[in-house]
Amino acid sequence: MRIALFTDTYLPTVNGVARTLGSLVAHAADRGHEIGLVTPAVSPTPAPGTVFHHQLPGVSLPMYPELQLAWPLDRVGRGQLEAFHPDLVHAATESTVGWSGRAWALQTGVPLVTSFHTDWPAYLAGYGFGGLENPVWHALQLFHGAARMTFCPSTSTRDQLLRWGFRHAVRIWSRGVDTDFFSPARRREEVRRELAPGAEKILLYVGRLAPEKRLDVLLKAFPLIRAGFGPGVFLAVVGDGPWKEELEADAPEGVVFLGYRTGIPLAEAYAAADLFAFPSDTETFGNVVAEALASGLPVVAPARGGVVDSVIPGRTGLLVPPRDPEAFAAAALALLEDEDLRAALGRGARALALERRWEAVLDLLLADYREALAA
């Protein structure tokens, strides 16, 4: 197949959507498919694995400077697409690049599929724009309603889309994880000392430092965890974002901010921790949760959103009511104080991750592409 992929975020930008789409491009190329890629200007060189990579200029978003609002598809991009002659257009995101892909597919009659990765109404509410929920959902319905299929990452997200009136084919495109790269085998005592010198137990959070991630819940829970367990427990926070300065200023004792980590340093940080603490209730999947599971970490997370497909009570972690610091602290303490339970859930976490390798997940997506073409 020749696939034209339009996305408003792509590698080397650090987020789950960019990493997921990077895995898709690499896998499709390995399977002998051809990918034409349209993105904002994200890299000085074309993305590997692509037939062409057209990058559109744009401006950074104030609340998310890592992302760009790109200009619409230009004449050069249209020429590349016409020469490429794709069998299928995948508009993977709902900002300007995605809308350009949607428009080009409808104008040329090329079959269109879309994907829903981000709960934008919930994100906007975190920035004080909760009153926009209904108009944003209507815009999302318009965007995705033109597609033969829409892919989303979890059962809870599919149910959410159906509740909001998505009546066309909504398929689950789950997420894989590299279980060779993210592995308990990377656990090293010197990394533990680097993350939190003198720590007896380490809780880990990985992700953006932004309102939609509910870090305020975790930072309210952590003093309760310390009061119950003692000063030997630390919270290591990996990531960056618009809330960084505010969170650092308000953080209780025992919280260590480590900034962005990628590659081996990130994998080693996961493996060095004892428990993954993830308070976000706005996830459509939670790629960092999958990475934590692959690293053998039990997870404490809210019982809302895409994480419920991965955090299975009694098998991989514990679920708590959303935005409840006391419940979050109680669950974390239960795992910190019970070595046997924590070890058993860590083994279950690793076992679940081994069932979700990228190869199988992406082969299912390619099969859905073929079904969309035959529709």
Q: What is the pLDDT of residues 113-171, one digit of tens each?
A: 999 999 888 777 667 777 788 899 999 999 999 999 999 999 999 999 999 999 889 99
Average pLDDT over residues 92-109: 98
| φ/ψ (deg, to 5) at 35 | -120, 125
pLDDT tens for each residue of 327-346: 999 999 999 999 999 999 99
d(CA 284, CA 119): 7
d(CA 162, CA 160): 5
Higher pLDDT, 304 or 61: 304
d(CA 46, CA 37): 9
**Alpha-helix runs per DSSP H in 235-338:** 244-250, 263-272, 287-294, 325-336
pLDDT tens for each residue of 239-281: 999 999 999 999 999 999 999 999 999 999 999 999 999 999 9
pTM beyond 0.85: the answer is yes
* Residue 82 confidence class, pLDDT cut points 50, 70, 90: very high
pLDDT above 70: residue 83: yes
Which is nearest to 183 in space by CA: 27, 30, 357?
357
Instruction: Confirm if 56 and 70 have CB atoms less than 8 A apart.
Output: yes
Residue in this structure with the two tokens 């039990």, named with its chain if needed: 298
d(CA 305, CA 210): 17
Which is nearest to 270 in space by CA: 293, 287, 286?
293
Average pLDDT over residues 338-363: 96
Selection from 61-70, 119-128, 348-357 with the highest mean pLDDT: 348-357
Can you list the positions of beta strands (E) in the chain? Answer: 2-6, 34-40, 52-56, 58-61, 64-70, 88-91, 112-115, 149-152, 169-172, 201-206, 233-238, 255-259, 275-277, 299-302, 317-320
Instruction: Confirm if 58 and 85 have CB atoms less than 8 A apart.
Output: no
